[in-house]
């Protein structure tokens, strides 16, 4: 019952959030601010992790391919597939849930406990729409680009790992990359990314917006937001995979 | 003028406001006073529309707050300025952007027009040279003055202030009090201040509503409060030795 109440409140909140902005000029300014806060400021960590995860996938595959009957180009193929269908969209979204989710929950939560949200309401502003809609728009616009970058850097990381460790030939790796390329898998990854982007913007916002109390509660809400965003991403990942790939 | 009739509000079955009726007059500084937990903040939030009362009437110059259409409610809210206890300035915006925010949201003025208006109100609260600073870089008194500037930038008809002096030194508190009173007279607005600072009450309380346990226990002006025989008011207002002395002297002078 407890969880159902929260799910109900979440959808009631969305009804208020997904309305036409009261003022497009203010919305545009907020959107650019969110693109910077939620998007460009996440690029560094995503690039760093993607590069090294790609490298690790390539090395681990190389170390496990002992049999002479298994072709070496499998390393490039596995790195590409892993990055495109799982590591970039899901793994990076969970990382963004931690980084961006805690930021969203704590910033909105702090606005709540310092009466900044009350100040918006008193002015007659739909505070849910004003605060959350630009975040949703920013994540939906920017995260597909972030995930495409993650895919690319992961594959580059795998390639570089081959050069550095000399565990496989770069020619084999490149052949594996080009082998059996299925564009639908990129579409599948993009669909997942868009769904996860929406979750990353809204679940932490829900936890932050309805916080009550002081700094301690804001901290707790922030932690709860990260946990629940990650859980929702993992669950949706399962259902989306079942729906889109099977 | 704001008229309140038989206002009732409870939380989880516990009554907080038990049928308050009063009026807040135009061009005057009206004050709500009372002990912590007496229902002052809930009362103020009901007036602002942040809490929905169970019953009662809140009337803003003939407009019954809870019977207005959404459009009319929005219009009413544009006529309200609010100064929150902690200022409630937007952390991510500079002073200039904070004050400009209501103009951006509700008017179609050009940037230059908005900037001019922002400078007029910042000038009015004696803050001209801090436009580029963020709220975290300001002192408590400055934050309050910026909050006042933001509250009056749209030329409101009603100004609400929640504990405008909390956390301020006595000298700055007097500056804020005088500023609120001057603005009330200058713009001829209905000002409602929620306070338990007795200095403010004595200085600028032209109409005082005293709440006790969710009930209006007394109302009058700052002149009348000296003479009142109401035990609960005397007990609350003259709880400090300084004010006891002030009352004694004042009563002697009257006799």
**SS3 annotation, B201-220:** HHHHCCEEEEEECCEEEEEE
Q: What is the pLDDT of residues B13-41, one digit of tens each?
A: 889 999 999 999 999 999 999 888 888 88
Instruction: Copy the structure tokens of residue A44.
Output: 């560094």
Is-contact A213 A147, C-beta < 8 A? no
Helix A43-64 / helix A74-82 crossing angle, nearest 10 deg: 150
Beta bridge partners of B220: B208
Cα B42 versus chain centre, distance: 13
Mean pLDDT to the nearest integer, A214-220: 93
Select from B76, B90, B102 the Cβ nearest to the Cβ of A116.
B90
Question: Are B82 and A122 within 8 A, CB to CB?
Answer: yes
Please tell me the distance in Å from A29's CA to the nearest CA on chain B. 11
Please tell me the distance in Å from B252's CA to the nearest CA on chain A. 45
Domains of chain B: 1-79+161-175+186-220 (3.40.50.300), 85-155 (no CATH)
Beta bridge partners of B158: B80, B190
Instruction: State how far the Cα of A23 lies from the Cα of B252, in Å rounded to an integer.
Output: 60
Select from B49, B73, B105 the Cβ nearest to the Cβ of A26.
B105
- Report how many domains make up chain A: 1
Hey, of A41, A115, A125, A129, which one would you mutate to test binding to chain B, going by the most B CBs within 10 A of its CB? Answer: A115
Q: pLDDT band for A170, please (50, 70, 90 cuts).
A: confident
Provide the pLDDT for residue B255: 64
Instruction: State how far the Cα of B131 lies from the Cα of B162, in Å rounded to an integer.
Output: 24
Provide the pLDDT for residue A68: 79
Which structural domain range is residue A137 located in? 27-245
Q: pLDDT band for A70, please (50, 70, 90 cuts).
A: confident
> In percent, how much of chain A has pLDDT > 70?
100
- Model-level pTM greater than 0.95? no
Q: Is the pLDDT of residue A100 over 90?
A: yes
Q: Does B222 touch chain A (CB under 8 A)?
A: no
Select from B73, B77, B86 the Cβ nearest to the Cβ of A115.
B86
| pLDDT < 50 positions in chain B | none
Closest CA to B56 of B114, B15, B97: B15
Is-contact B209 B32, C-beta < 8 A? yes
Q: Does A156 touch chain B (CB under 8 A)?
A: no
Q: Does A33 touch chain B (CB under 8 A)?
A: yes
C-alpha distances in Å from residue B43, one per residue of A74, A137, A196, B168, B214: 71, 38, 42, 24, 9
Q: Is the pLDDT of residue A207 over 90?
A: yes
- Under DSSP, the state recorded for B189 is -
Is-contact B150 B88, C-beta < 8 A? no
Cα A195 versus chain centre, distance: 9
Residue of B nearest to A34 (CA): B92
Residue B33 dihedral angles phi and psi, to the nearest 5°: -125, 165
| Virtual torsion, Cα B82, B84, B90, B91, nearest 10 deg | 160
C-alpha distances in Å from residue B80, one per residue of A36, B27, B85: 33, 14, 16
- Under DSSP, the state recorded for A213 is S
For B228, residues 6+ apart whose C-beta sits below 8 A from its C-beta are B218, B220, B234
Mean pLDDT to the nearest integer, A118-133: 92
């Amino acid at each position: 019952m407890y969880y159902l109440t929260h799910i109900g409140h979440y959808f009631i909140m969305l009804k208020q959030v997904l309305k036409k902005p009261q003022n497009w000029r203010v919305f545009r300014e907020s959107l650019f601010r969110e693109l910077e806060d939620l998007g460009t400021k996440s690029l560094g960590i995503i690039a760093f992790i993607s590069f090294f995860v790609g490298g690790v996938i390539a090395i681990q595959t190389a170390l496990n391919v002992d049999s002479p009957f298994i072709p070496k180009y499998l390393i490039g193929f596995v790195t590409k597939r892993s990055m495109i269908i799982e590591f970039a969209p899901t793994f990076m979204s969970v990382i963004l849930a931690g980084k961006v989710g805690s930021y969203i929950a704590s910033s909105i939560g702090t606005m709540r406990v310092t009466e900044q949200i009350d100040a918006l309401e008193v002015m007659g502003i739909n505070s849910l729409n004003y605060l959350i809609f630009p975040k949703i728009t920013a994540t939906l616009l920017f995260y597909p680009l972030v995930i495409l970058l993650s895919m690319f850097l992961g594959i580059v990381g795998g390639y570089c790992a081959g050069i550095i460790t000399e565990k496989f030939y770069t020619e084999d790796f490149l052949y594996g990359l080009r082998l059996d390329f299925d564009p639908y898998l990129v579409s599948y990854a993009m669909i997942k990314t868009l769904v996860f982007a929406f979750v990353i913007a809204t679940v932490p916002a829900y936890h932050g917006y309805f916080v009550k109390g002081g700094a301690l509660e804001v901290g707790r809400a922030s932690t709860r937001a990260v946990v629940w965003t990650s859980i929702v991403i993992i669950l949706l990942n399962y259902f989306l995979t079942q729906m889109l790939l099977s | 003028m704001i008229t309140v009739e038989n206002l009732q509000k409870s939380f989880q079955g516990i009554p907080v406001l038990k049928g308050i009726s009063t009026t807040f007059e135009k061009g005057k500084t009206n004050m709500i006073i009372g002990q912590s937990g007496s229902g002052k903040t809930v009362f103020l939030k009901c007036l602002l529309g942040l809490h929905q009362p169970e019953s009662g009437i809140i009337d803003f110059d003939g407009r019954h707050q809870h019977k207005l259409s959404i459009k009319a409610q929005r219009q009413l809210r544009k006529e309200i300025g609010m100064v929150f206890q902690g200022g409630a300035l937007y952390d991510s915006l500079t002073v200039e952007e904070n004050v400009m925010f209501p103009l951006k949201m509700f008017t179609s003025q050009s940037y230059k027009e908005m900037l001019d208006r922002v400078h007029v109100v910042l000038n009015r609260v004696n803050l001209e040279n801090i436009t580029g600073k963020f709220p975290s870089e300001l002192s408590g008194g400055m934050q309050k003055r910026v909050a006042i500037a933001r509250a009056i930038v749209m030329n409101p008809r009603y100004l609400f202030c929640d504990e405008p002096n909390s956390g301020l030194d006595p000298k700055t508190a007097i500056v804020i009090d005088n500023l609120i009173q001057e603005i009330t007279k200058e713009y001829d607005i209905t000002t409602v201040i929620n306070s338990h600072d007795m200095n403010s009450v004595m200085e600028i309380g032209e109409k005082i509503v005293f709440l006790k346990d969710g009930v209006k226990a007394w109302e009058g002006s700052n002149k009348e409060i000296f003479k009142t025989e109401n035990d609960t008011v005397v007990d609350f207002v003259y709880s400090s030795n300084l004010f006891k002395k002030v009352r004694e002297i004042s009563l002697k002078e009257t006799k």
